[in-house]
Amino acid sequence: MTASHVRWFMNDRFGMFVHWGLYAIPARGEWVRSLEKMSVAEYQPFFEEFNPVKYDAKKWARTAKEAGMKYAVMTAKHHDGFCLFDSKLTDYKATNTPAGRDLIREYIEAFREEGLRVGLYYSIIDWHHQDYPHFGDKIHPMRDNESYRDHRGEFERYLTYMHGQVKELLTNYGTIDVMWFDFSYDDMIGEKWKSSELVRMMRSIQPDIVIDNRLGGNMKASEPEIYAGDFMSPEQLLPPEGVVNEAGEPLSWESCITLNDHWGYCASDTNYKSPQTVIRGLVECVSKGGNLLLNVGPNAKGEIPRQSVDILNEVGKWMDANGASVYGCGPCKLAKPEWGRYTQRGNLIYAHIYDRGMGPINFRGLQGKIKRARLLADGSEIKVETPWNAWEYPEDAFISFSSASLPDEINTVVELELSEEI
């Protein structure tokens, strides 16, 4: 049973992920400091240069809305420790760069104004903070730098800082709908972060905030920790089937996926997914009871890459005509058909037809159960009738397309209103 504060999340299904920060300047992805073992000093020029003169959060919000996205999650701080918000707990923040502005406040205000819910990504990992483990850590940029062998940070002091920043974000920016923590690893997990204390503090400020599962708890357990999270967060993959707990009960989940192969801006990465891949990926998530959080990585000027905008525009055209087959929908009891996928909302089944195939489209077991069928995009009637050559399949219902091609080759959606529960 979906907890009441998570229902909007599982209803909205489709969100924008935004990875943005200093790493947009080197333009080799958000892990550049770790992968290239950059010191703070080597990374500092990007702080001194950061001035996204073309950043227009309202434009981003319109792009997300027109793509059919209903919520967004933007990096308030990634692993590099750079804060896109005006934290009073550090000088390592956007307001101290040439940008001189609270980038998160502009994002929140713009996306709310467009009617989208707003989430924040907050890295519990921090490669800038002196009290975060350096030498010997699994991923810190200075993990094998001998000059840091004797570095001993006060981790308790880091936790006070980290919890304090989360409190700032939940206190100073109005309602935050999603907190997307990232990530636990090895022994840096669970109560190492003082996660129970953190989540209790969060819920004392914003009781209904939706939290991901990356503080390191076990959502699948029969008695999950208080910090186990409200949704599972598979990354760069779509689960083979719905996600369930130890008792076999469905769990809320959201797959986070990049449009190319990088989260943060990477100038050389032109390996973008097609609108078809995105649309069918979103439908696959919904058909398995999950969400899709689709990422954009804005560049150093503050612009979402043109390739991303073009893809989102095409996705938006399909969503504008067929969004009813996504929003508020979930898995259908019928087996996955050969020609595509089903999603369902109450007594409405949505047939997502990808493969025209040969002959009529078969709806297994639905004979006599369909009250009416409509092409979702234009509301036109689709006749449900069993052709003479399908007489051997009396349990099944059929529709026929006169053309050898589909009305929409990416995904033709037929809405089936059921005359009885299945």
Binding residues (CB under 6 A) for ligand FHN: these are: 19, 30-31, 182-183, 235, 256, 263
Closest among 270, 259, 265 to 308, alpha carbons compared: 259
Handedness of CA 242, 356, 421, 9 (dihedral sign): positive
Closest among 344, 411, 17 to 212, alpha carbons compared: 17
Closest distance between ligand FHN and the C-beta of residue 78, in Å? 6
Nearer to ligand FHN, 34 or 411 (CB): 34
Nearer to ligand FHN, 217 or 330 (CB): 217
Nearer to ligand FHN, 208 or 235 (CB): 235
Closest distance between ligand FHN and the C-beta of residue 353, in Å? 32
Reduced to 3 states, what is the DSSP secondary structure of residue 286? helix
Is residue 297 within 8 A of residue 305, CB to CB? The reply is: yes
Closest distance between ligand FHN and the C-beta of residue 258, in Å? 8
What are the beta bridge partners of residue 380?
Answer: 375
Long-range Cβ contacts of 85-88 (<8 Å, 24+ apart): 85/168, 85/169, 85/173, 87/165, 87/168, 88/168
Nearer to ligand FHN, 304 or 384 (CB): 304
Closest among 70, 82, 167 to 118, alpha carbons compared: 70
Closest distance between ligand FHN and the C-beta of residue 237, in Å? 11
Nearer to ligand FHN, 252 or 362 (CB): 252
The H or E element spanning position 119 is strand 117-123
Nearer to ligand FHN, 30 or 131 (CB): 30
Closest among 32, 35, 5, 36 to 21, alpha carbons compared: 32
| Residue nearest ligand FHN, Cβ-based | 263
Closest distance between ligand FHN and the C-beta of residue 31, in Å? 6
Closest distance between ligand FHN and the C-beta of residue 150, in Å? 27
The structure tokens listed for 27 are: 């333009």
